[in-house]
Amino acid sequence: MYTAEEKICILMGESGVSSSKFFQVWSLFDGAEDLTANFDKREEVKTILGGSYSAVSGALKKRQFDKSVERMYKYSVSAVTYFSSDYPETLREIDERPYVLFCKGNVKLLSSQCLAVVGTRKASSYGRRVTKDFTAVLSDYFTIVSGLAYGVDSIAHETTLEERGNTIAVLGGGLINVYPAANQGLADRIVQNGGLLVSEYGVEAQPFAYRFPHRNRIVSGLSKGVLVCQAPLKSGTNSTVELALNQGRDVFVVPGEIYDVGYGGSNSLIKSVQGACVTTPRDILDFYGLDRGESAKETYQMSIEEQAIVNALSVGQLSFDELVIQTGISPAELNFLLANLELRSIIAKLAGNAYRLYGGIE
């Protein structure tokens, strides 16, 4: 169940209110009850929210909190808000911190040790190899964060899954509007394998172009550091690096050929950011003082039957009887497997002997 404060965050997130405007409005009231009762009585609110005012006001009057939650529930989405215990401390530190994160998958990853892997959508063969080789090693120590875009982002997510590591994809639109659409399958695999999809935009929000640079502050904000695998001079990666530096995050850059314009941004960053150059994953591990005994990767490997359960639940909540039918597992064995998966926080048991992937709405 969500608190009154969390419901207001969900409602405003669904209404498209930016993080800066949300906190300005929140500061005008003495908590959720005061905001709900007196929202239309404060003229400053209209000035702050502008075009979003009518939508938020109407939703508050109609008490549409439950409707928003029901829509999330329909798509197996949960919400972590600024007022939630699961809200990551790393994001509390940054400027323009998000007040709501719509999540699909394992929300516990928000508080894990993260490293962002970013770069161009048009990765060269060298850039692809760098991304794959570095991520294969680093995913053993960090949750890999990226943006689910073509190129470096996709390779980082895919490699992490291949290595049975943990990964978070931060989207620039709603969780049911994966962009690019061709990466819908990758998004599904991330959730099915214990990863996490995150967006500050409402469940059905469109992936407008202006939202992608803005979401980059979350990619860097969640992470201890940012690794740039390949970037030309004009690249969205450069905005992520700028955000990371402003947030006090570490920046690492793999050098590229000096005559290749595809690495103009990478090589420029190496010249401007002291100590950024790395030529092996060990450089990053040494920077953080990590050794082979400190791997953060989940060592538990699911059985074929357990994976079948997770795959079945990836589309949403199912009852015990429905799981028996969909997986073909006997009731006695299913009981044992469900208890084991619940113990490991891979799934959650709901009322009415139903189950869903961990992080869903109870």
Domain ranges of the chain: 1-74, 107-294, 304-357
Extract the runs of DSSP E, i.e. beta strands, from 174-307. 196-199, 225-230, 250-253
**Residue pair 132/144 in contact by the 8 Å Cβ criterion:** no
| pLDDT at residue 360 is higher than 50 | no
| Residues 164-201: tens digit of each pLDDT | 999 999 999 999 989 999 999 999 999 999 999 999 99
Instruction: Quote the CA–CA distance of 65 and 332 in Å, as a whole number.
Output: 39
Quick one: CA torsion of 318, 323, 326, 329, rounded to 10 degrees?
170
pTM: 0.80
| pLDDT at residue 23 is higher than 90 | yes
Determine the average pLDDT of the residues in 262-278.
92
The predicted structure's pLDDT at residue 295: 60
Contacts of residue 294, defined as CB under 8 A and 6 or more positions apart, other chains included, come to 141
Instruction: Quote the CA–CA distance of 223 and 341 in Å, as a whole number.
Output: 27
Q: Given this chain, do its domains 107-294 and 304-357 carry the same CATH topology?
A: no
Query: Which of 268, 270, 234 is closest to 252 using CA atoms?
Result: 270
φ, ψ (nearest 5 deg) of residue 104: -135, 110
- The alpha-carbon radius of gyration of the chain (Å, integer) is 21
| Residues 43-57: tens digit of each pLDDT | 999 999 998 899 899
**Residue pair 348/355 in contact by the 8 Å Cβ criterion:** yes
Give me 300's structure tokens: 């538990």
Query: Which of 189, 273, 264, 260 is closest to 226 using CA atoms?
Result: 273
Q: Does domain 107-294 have CATH number 3.40.50.450?
A: yes
| Residues 331-352: tens digit of each pLDDT | 989 988 998 887 766 787 887 8
What number does CATH give the domain 304-357?
Answer: 1.10.10.10
The predicted structure's pLDDT at residue 187: 96
DSSP secondary structure string for all residues of 59-116 = HHHTTTHHHHHHHHHHTT-EEEETTSTTS-HHHHTSTT--SEEEEEE-GGGGGS-EEE
| Residues 33-88: tens digit of each pLDDT | 999 999 999 999 999 999 889 989 988 887 777 788 888 888 889 999 999 989 99
Instruction: Quote the CA–CA distance of 143 and 165 in Å, as a whole number.
Output: 7
**Residue pair 162/188 in contact by the 8 Å Cβ criterion:** no
| Residues 202-226: tens digit of each pLDDT | 999 998 888 888 999 999 999 999 9
| pLDDT at residue 294 is higher than 70 | no
Extract the runs of DSSP E, i.e. beta strands, from the chain. 78-81, 100-105, 114-119, 143-146, 167-170, 196-199, 225-230, 250-253, 318-319, 347-350, 354-357
Instruction: Quote the CA–CA distance of 290 and 284 in Å, as a whole number.
Output: 9
| Residues 300-340: tens digit of each pLDDT | 567 889 888 988 888 788 999 999 999 999 998 998 899 88
3 state DSSP class of 4? helix
Extract the runs of DSSP E, i.e. beta strands, from 112-232. 114-119, 143-146, 167-170, 196-199, 225-230
Contacts of residue 91, defined as CB under 8 A and 6 or more positions apart, other chains included, come to 97, 98, 218, 221, 222
Name the pLDDT band for 264 (thresholds 50, 70, 90). Answer: very high
Counting residues of the chain whose pLDDT is more than 70, the rounded percentage is 95
The partner residues of 79 in beta bridges, in order of sequence, read 102
